[in-house]
Amino acid sequence: MIKNKLHSHLVRISVTLSLSITFIPYQAQAQTPTRIQTATRETFEEALTIQFEPPPGKNKPGQTAGGATRGQCSLQQQDSNKPLTLLTPANQEGLTIAERPTFFFYVPHASIEQAEFTLISQDEEYAYQTNFSLESKGGVFQFQLPAEAPPLEVGKNYQWSVALICDQQERTEDIVVQGQIKRTEANPNLFAQLKSATPFQSAALYGKAGLWYDMVKALAELQLAEPNNSNLVTAWKQLLQSEYVKLDDISQAPILYCCSTN
């Protein structure tokens, strides 16, 4: 029902954007060495300080899988123990201070080639949707809302979802998972601390402030830059296995960088 509502609403909104993207494995960029050197100097004890602290009233663990609906696509998944999963807190709700945040989701190894990302505001005044191609191997993918998409508004709640498309002509067979995101303002003290913080410290500051999406992005970028750094591996696993996240099953899945436009 929710999926149908999203599709019908997106048809009505003229500002809906479309972008075809393909996920590709991460390749180091020119700015990577500085980030790697900074991360290497951090200690094991600092890695353990990166913890997520939910905002007041948002600390009740729930079902992270996001109420996925399952059609015939599920029969094509080759790893049924690790279904399509959004990286959100266990209650499916998360905060960000970013205008165009980055979203993370786990895709199992499957024969499905196409997927769809949807973002819609609770008041239905904002809608963005795009399709993308999947690689055959599974892992944790990240998708940053592109510049072409309108920025999120402070104080507004949004629902985002990822759907695995089994049949373009029969979308009721999609596997769909949904999560919640809200943009909030960061207090001046946090901004001041972030200006002089190392990448490790930034991730910890975001986590302490309850800014889930910003924290995950900061930590994922560090691990992408240096995947063999044991401190970073420990911090990532600890985050996903923590009480308010409960994503133990995918805590060891590889992080895959995206995206390339067609």
Residue in the structure block whose two tokens are 């909030």: 184
Q: How many domains does the chain have?
A: 1
Tell me whether residue 262 is in a domain.
Answer: no
Tell me whether residue 259 is in a domain.
Answer: no
Q: For the whole model, what pTM was predicted?
A: 0.79
Tell me whether residue 240 is in a domain.
Answer: yes
Tell me whether residue 137 is in a domain.
Answer: yes
Alpha-carbon torsion (57, 63, 68, 73), positive or negative? positive
Tell me whether residue 261 is in a domain.
Answer: no
Tell me whether residue 82 is in a domain.
Answer: yes
Q: Look up residue 161 and give its two tokens.
A: 């979802």
Tell me whether residue 198 is in a domain.
Answer: yes
Quick one: pLDDT band at residue 81, thresholds 50, 70, 90? low
pLDDT on residue 45: 58
Give the model confidence (pLDDT) of 201-252 as tens digits. 899 999 999 999 999 999 999 988 888 888 888 889 999 999 999 999 999 9
Q: List own/partner pairs for 128-131 with CB under 8 A and 24 or more apart.
A: 128/16, 128/17, 129/6, 129/10, 129/16, 129/17, 129/18, 130/17, 130/18, 130/19, 130/20, 130/21, 131/18, 131/20, 131/165
Do 102 and 144 contact (CB within 8 A), yes or no? yes
Range of the domain at 90: 2-254
Give the model confidence (pLDDT) of 13-35 as tens digits. 433 444 444 443 333 333 333 44
Tell me whether residue 260 is in a domain.
Answer: no
* Percentages (nearest 5) of helix, strand, coil residues in the chain: 30, 25, 45
**Average pLDDT of the chain, as a whole number:** 77
